[in-house]
Structure formats: C-alpha cells, structure tokens
Structure 1
C-alpha cells in the first residue's frame, strides 16, 4: 500500500511539474510573440533596410547558439529570450514592407498570419488533447532539416525552376511537425525547461509564417 501511495505521489508530482512547464511556456511564448510583433511594427515604421534585417537576424542566431544555452536556468534567460524575439521581429520589418507594398500585399500577409495561427493552434490543441508521444518524429525531422539546408544552399548556385517554392513547402511541413514534436515533448516530460521550450516553439512559428507568406506570394502569381 505504501509503495502504491509513493507511485501515485510521484505521478502526481510529475503531472504538476509538466503542467507548470506547459503553462509557463505558453505564457512566455504569448508575450514574446506580442513583443516580436511590436518590434516588427517599429521596424516597418522606421523603414529599416534589408542590411539591418540581416544583421539583426544573425545577432538573433548568435543569441540562440551562444547566449541562451548558458542562461536557460536563470532569470536572464527570460531577458535574452525577449531580446532574441525582438531582433527576429524587427528583422521581419523590411520583408513585411515589401509584401505590403504589393497590390494584394495586405491580403497575403493576412492569409499567412491566419494560416500560421490555424496550424499552430490546431496542432497544439491536437497534441494537448491526445497526449500522444510524437518523439518518434525526431529522426525524420533531423533528416528533413538537413535536406532543406542542402536545398537552400543549392538554390544559391543552381537556378532550378520551382526549387524555392519546394523549399518553402518543405519548411511549412517541417515546422508543422516540429510544433507537434515540441509540444509533445513538454506534455510527456521530455522538455522540462520552459525557456528552452519557448524558444523552440517560437522558431517553429516564426519559420512557419515566413515560408507560408512566401508560398502565398508565389501561389497568387507574383513569382
């Protein structure tokens, strides 16, 4: 009986810990997305050039690789997460200005935003309600990421017709699966750090939006 009570207590504590990580992740994710959107609006208003966008995006990558891993377990991790999200958000400014300057630009951006929201909420809700373990996707996602990176490098040197749209479609699919994978890791206890979980989900959503916008742009006959 004592052993049964101990097992029950352990499971309860594990469930409470998982729920806390999940709650903190989505709270921080919501705040960083809002902050990122604000940074994008400021960047658009300032009409920042593409060069500034590239610099900010590279700085954000540097933060992800070299700064955040050292601060995930401290309050500074939250600060750097906002810096990272702000840089990527501001880096979207020049791209959004380009799309919005097109005749159907506002509609394309709205469609991309709507599509990103539907995919994100739909897949997150599915992962949360089914509680299915999607860890089996890990190997496929790694191979898919490598293939996409090779394709992106190839696109710089080989003008293959349709390659860009294939890359964007591949990224949309890969990021959709990443949302399932990352959410599942939190629910099933594979991810216990809400700052790291937030950064992963933010990158999934960011890349999903950017490449979904490119797909909308191409499919409306602008490429």
Structure 2
C-alpha cells in the first residue's frame, strides 16, 4: 500500500498511532451511523469503499493520499461494517463480540510491540502474505457459489487470521526499521487500519465457528 520509506522527512511508529486511533474512532462513529442507514445503501457504500481502495493504489503513484481521503474511507468502512457486526451480535451475542474485539486489540498491539522492541525484519513475509491474500480472496469468491464445509470454513478463517496478523508484523516492522516519509503517513495508516479491521472480522468469524462447534 505504500511505495517507499526513504523520501522526505521520516517519522517513526509512534507518530502513526494518533492518525490510526482517529481512523478507528471515525470507523466507530460510522458504525453508529450505520444503524440509521437504509439497507439499500449498504451495497453502494461497499462499492464506493472498494473503489477508494483501488484508487488509493493508483493515486499513490502520482501524488500523496491525504488525511481527508483516509478519514473519509474510515468513516464509510465503519458504516459498511454495521451489517456484519449486527449479525454477529444477533448470533453470538454482544459480550462475545466485545471479547473478539479485545483479542484483536491484544493481538494487533502485541504484533506492533514485538516489531518495535525486536526491530526484526519481516520483509521476507511479503511474498508469502501476498500469495496467501490472493488465495483468501479466491476462497471467498468460491464460497459465494459453493458453501464451505466445516473444515474449509476453519481453514479459510484461520488463514485470514494468520495473513492479517502477518501483515501487521510486516507493516510495523518496515516502519520501525526504515521509518516513513511524513507525506506517506495517511497511506501507511490506511494499510494499518485495514489490517486491524480485517483481523477483527476474521477473529469474530473464529469465535463464531468455535461457538458452533460447542
């Protein structure tokens, strides 16, 4: 999601957290607003969200993605998360959803802390993670036409958890080792935000599968 870490004034991991926190705060506000959004609008908003992600990858090649883009995306993604969160609350209960969120915060924060303390280089994960992400997207598309078996559902869910936990380690380790230009902070935060949201959704799915097993 970001091109390099070598141009402009460089900032460190600690400088990214305020923007990441505000992005998550706006997503929470969007989640609240989602309660009042007509169901017919969710699909168009999801399409807008996808277009924004694709646009971000092209925009960064020519000019910098700004904070306005980042925060607008965060708010819209919060709205589009509402149907999924509502369904999980309905099926597994609000306390379990909160537990899944707490586990996500701990796992995500632990990965960030580990990258910061050890300064380990996880750049070797890039290729494996990309291949895993393509496989994950492929499995997701197939599931629309052919419902998963229980085993395939577990494989898909665990793969998602490991991929986005891996991306969290990968992204934070690059920031720690090389820094990031101040101009590219919004783009990097967008990547970190997507890691958190996707990790949360797959951990939620994992909790749901575990309850079904019981």
TM-score after normalising by structure 2: 0.85
- The gaps in structure 1 that reach 5 residues or longer are 1-13
Structure 1 partner of 2:47? 58
2:161 aligned to which of 161, 172, 187: 172
Question: What CA distance in whole angstroms lies between the structure 1 residues aligned with 2:29 and 2:57?
Answer: 22
2:25 aligned to which of 27, 34, 37: 34
2:78 aligned to which of 85, 89, 92: 89
1:187/1:169 CA distance change after superposition, 3 Å: same
**Pairs aligned (count):** 204
Deviates more, 1:176-185 or 1:92-101: 92-101
1:143 aligned to which of 113, 117, 131: 131
TM-aligned CA deviation for residue 167 of structure 1: 1.3
TM-aligned CA deviation for residue 115 of structure 1: 1.1
The answer to whether the Cα contact below 8 Å between 2:12 and 2:179 also exists between their aligned partners in 1 is: no
The within-5 A match list for 1:107-126 is 107-126=95-114
Structure 1 partner of 2:189? 198
Question: What CA distance in whole angstroms lies between the structure 2 residues aligned with 1:68 and 1:83?
Answer: 16
TM-aligned CA deviation for residue 171 of structure 1: 0.7
TM-score after normalising by structure 1: 0.82
After superposition, what is the alpha-carbon deviation per residue over 1:24-82, rounded to whole angstroms, capped at 9, x for unaligned? 321111100011011101212x1642x433322221121121157426955x6100111
| Counterpart secondary structure, 2:120 | coil
- The gaps in structure 2 that reach 5 residues or longer are 1-5
Structure 2 partner of 1:133? 121
4+ long deviations beyond 4 Å: 71-74
TM-aligned CA deviation for residue 222 of structure 1: 7.8
**Pair member with larger Rg:** 1
Correspondence 1:217 to 2:208: yes
Question: What CA distance in whole angstroms lies between the structure 1 residues aligned with 2:88 and 2:143?
Answer: 22
Structure 2 partner of 1:9? none
| Counterpart secondary structure, 1:132 | coil
